[in-house]
Amino acid sequence: MLNYIAGRIASAIPILLLVAIFIFSLVNVTPGDPAVLIAGDNATPAQVEAIRERLRLDEPLPVRFFVWAGNAVRLDLGESIYSSQPVTRLIAQRLEPTFVLATVTLILTILIALPLGVVAAWKSNTWIDRSIMAFAVLGFSVPVFVIGYLLVYVFSVRLKWLPVQGYSPLADGVLGTLRSVALPSLALALVFAALIARVTRAALLEVLSENHIRTARAKGLSTWRILVIHALKNAGVPVITVIGIGFATLIGGVVVTESVFNIPGIGRLTVDAITRRDYPVVQGVILFFSVLLIVINILVDLSYALFDPRVKG
Amino acid sequence: MAMLQAAVREPGAARLLRYARRNPATTICCLILLALLLVAVFAPLIAGDPIKIDPARRLTPPDAEAIWGRDHLGRDVFARAIYGTRISMLVGFSVAFLTTVLGVTIGIYAGLSRIGSLVVMRLTDAMMAIPAILLAIAFASILNAGLVTVIIAITIPEVPRMVRLVRSVVLGVRNQPHVTAAVSIGTSGLPLVWRHILPNTMGPVLVQATYACASAIIASAVLSFLGVGISPEVPSWGGMMADARSVFRLHPMLMLYPGVLLSLLVLSVNILGDRLSDALDPRKSRRGAL
């Protein structure tokens, strides 16, 4: 098992290196002078020169890449052009709202998607199945910001149950935090759950046609026991895989949702940095999200061992 | 056999009608797409000027001239929504086309060449580790804003998925008898790819291209919504929603119109993709849906 974990982590290193090269090239290999690009439209020649100096832009590309990547490994992602603060600190400051939003979304997603997927597979090819699948197609066709504004209109503007925008930190009370992330999480969860409900249904249908399910039924086990204990556990691997793949979509959704709901998280930081052309922050944030995604995919791979004992070997 | 011949001889229109009755969802989606395509092509005939600013009549309710009212700059919302169809359609189809051409070319190469496979797989691994929408936002903001930029920015993160799909199909096809037979009689290079490998990838590629089209339409709306898309004067649904944010509480309809149109278009494309995928999957095909 330890070998498996070590091997999986080692295989992520070349990917991480390539990701770093991509993100570095994004700013440095695009046409035009990176110093001018970073300094923005209103910079004086002296400012451009200062940036060139600070980022060592006169040195050859590979040297600059290794300086940048070396610093990144030591969690030094440079300074924001806009606020002159270290990028790492900016990200750390914005971590809490994004983390809460993503966690609540994930919990909501599983609460919505698993029951829907199980019921759809159980009642497959009936009107119940068809309406659940129709909901699923609708869920990932309606963009998350459209769902977001729809929810805001119904629950905040009309019914006045929940705050329209903003984020209340955990330090000011968990209830307030949950109220502030309720709508953005729901908007995101609807999109994410649609995807996972579809895969849960498909995976369960596959498992339900297998012999051990027939045996369980012949033994006289209840439908509920068969569905949840015998079938769902075996359908776990594809479902967990899609939760992992879906995380990329979720991160994209977080960026958009934080803008819709004015939540001061990392997604908001990204959009602000991009509108201000604050490239060190842009690079830092994309690197952060990519590393997060790679780590999540490793965890997903490792979790297979929970569902499928053959993986341990 | 006799029945089959009867079916073949049946006139086209009748066959189409029978198909439409059996597959109402597919038919409705096709009609919606066709309608939106016509709207996009004939926008100047349907609506007035989408760009003209009229500050004196900002946020006025619907009237005979502007049937969906006017936005915060006094522009005709209906005209902007109609012209917005163009951008969404153009981005969706261009991205789907470019993704297909690039993805199929690289994917076939990766499926046939051992070194190519190794390099391409690592590269796609890395690209797929970066969240697609972030990559698109970053590209769109660094390159100068414009329609072509947006299309390129959205295409780049879509390509790896297509590459992996095509590669996996090619790996499966490569050892099939008809391909090994073709190789053994001396077929190689482009004729081998063109006649024996490419046709086998077309089904899954078509389905994936449909999904790429749907996600490109959403992505272009997201880019416009976040203000890194096409320039704000050009009418686009995402841009309209971005404009509507500041007046959302008092004028929710300005958000609703582009939002509903956007969702309708993406929904139609996605449902068609699902139907196509069902029809091409031999395990799922019931009475030959297509």
The pTM of this model reads 0.86
Q: How far is A174 from chain B (nearest CA, A)?
A: 27
Q: What is the complex's ipTM, to 2 decimals? A: 0.83
Residue numbers in B near A249 (CB within 8 A): 131
> B221 contacts in A (CB within 8 Å)?
143, 145
Q: Which residue of B has its CA nearest to A258?
A: B226
Q: Which domains does chain A have, with CATH numbers?
A: 1-86 (no CATH), 88-312 (1.10.3720.10)
| B135 at interface of A, judged by CB pairs closer than 8 A | yes
CA B141 to chain A, closest CA, distance in angstroms equals: 7
Q: Who among B127, B143, B259 is closest to A149 (CB)?
A: B259
Backbone angles phi, psi at A86, to 5 degrees: -60, 135
Residue B285 confidence (pLDDT) above 80: no
Asked if the C-beta of B138 comes within 8 angstroms of chain A's C-beta atoms, the answer is: yes
Q: Is B253 at the interface with chain A, CB within 8 A?
A: no
For B12-68, the pLDDT digits (tens) are 778 878 877 888 888 888 899 999 999 888 888 887 778 777 777 777 777 777 778
Query: Does the pLDDT of residue B165 top 80, yes or no?
Result: yes
Whether B126 sits inside 8 A of A18 (CB atoms) is yes
Count how many pairs of residues, chain A against chain B, have C-beta atoms within 8 Å. Answer: 125
pLDDT at B10: 63
State whether B130 and A157 contact (CB < 8 Å): no
Name the packing angle between helices A127-141 and B253-280 (round to 10°): 120
Tokens representing residue A72 in the block: 């990144």
CB-closest option in B122, B227, B252 to A275: B227
| Chain B residues close to A282, C-beta within 8 Å | 138, 141
- The Cα–Cα gap between B152 and B169 comes to 26
Q: Is residue B289 very low, low, confident or very high in pLDDT (cuts 50, 70, 90)?
A: very low
Measured between CB atoms, which of B262, B271, B274 is closest to A146?
B262
Show pLDDT as tens, one digit a residue, over chain A (313 residues): 778 778 888 888 888 888 888 888 877 766 667 677 767 667 788 888 887 777 777 778 888 888 888 888 888 888 887 788 898 999 999 999 999 999 999 999 999 998 999 889 888 888 988 889 888 888 888 888 889 888 888 888 878 787 777 788 878 888 888 888 889 999 999 988 988 898 888 888 888 888 888 888 888 888 877 887 778 877 877 888 888 878 888 888 888 899 888 899 998 898 888 888 788 888 899 899 989 888 888 888 888 777 776 665 4
- Tell me: pLDDT of B3 over 60: no
On the 0-12 / 13-18 / 19+ scale of CB atoms within 10 A, B106 is buried
pLDDT at B244: 85
* Confidence band, pLDDT 50/70/90 cuts, at residue B1: very low
Residues in chain A within 8 Å Cβ distance of B131: 248-249, 251-252, 255, 286, 289-290, 293
Number of C-beta neighbours around residue B263 at 10 A: 20
pLDDT grade for B283, boundaries at 50, 70 and 90: low
HSE-up of residue B59 (Cα within 13 Å, Cβ side)? 11
In contact, A103 and A59? CB cutoff 8 Å = no
A161-165, B165-169, B247-251: least confidently modelled range? A161-165
Query: Nearest residue of A to residue B217 by CA position?
Result: A143
Contact B270 A137 (CB under 8 A): yes
Rounded Cα distance between B200 and B195, Å, is 9
Question: Rounded to whole angstroms, what are the CA distances from B125 to A22, B155, B279?
Answer: 12, 16, 30
pLDDT at B8: 55
Sign of the Cα pseudo-torsion (A56, A60, A64, A66, in order)? negative
Are B225 and A152 inside 8 Å of each other by CB? no
Which residues in chain B are contacts of A192 at CB distance < 8 A? Answer: none
Of A158, A153, A151, A161, which Cα lies nearest the Cα of A191? A151
A16: chain B residues, CB-CB within 8 Å: 129
Q: Which of B94, B245, B193 is nearest to A164 (CA)?
A: B245
> What is the pLDDT, as a whole number, of residue B174?
83
By the 10 Å C-beta count (0-12 exposed, 13-18 middle, 19+ buried), A82 is classed as middle
Chain A interface, mutation test: which of B118, B222, B257, B270, most A Cβ atoms within 10 Å?
A: B222
Q: How many percent of chain B have pLDDT more than 70?
A: 92
Tell me the nearest-neighbour CA distance from B269 into chain A, angstroms: 9
What pLDDT, on a 0 to 100 scale, did the predictor assign at position A109? 92
CA nearest to B104, candidates B153, B169, B49, B156: B169
CA A253 to chain centroid, in Å, comes to: 7
Interface membership of B276 toward A (CB under 8 Å)? no
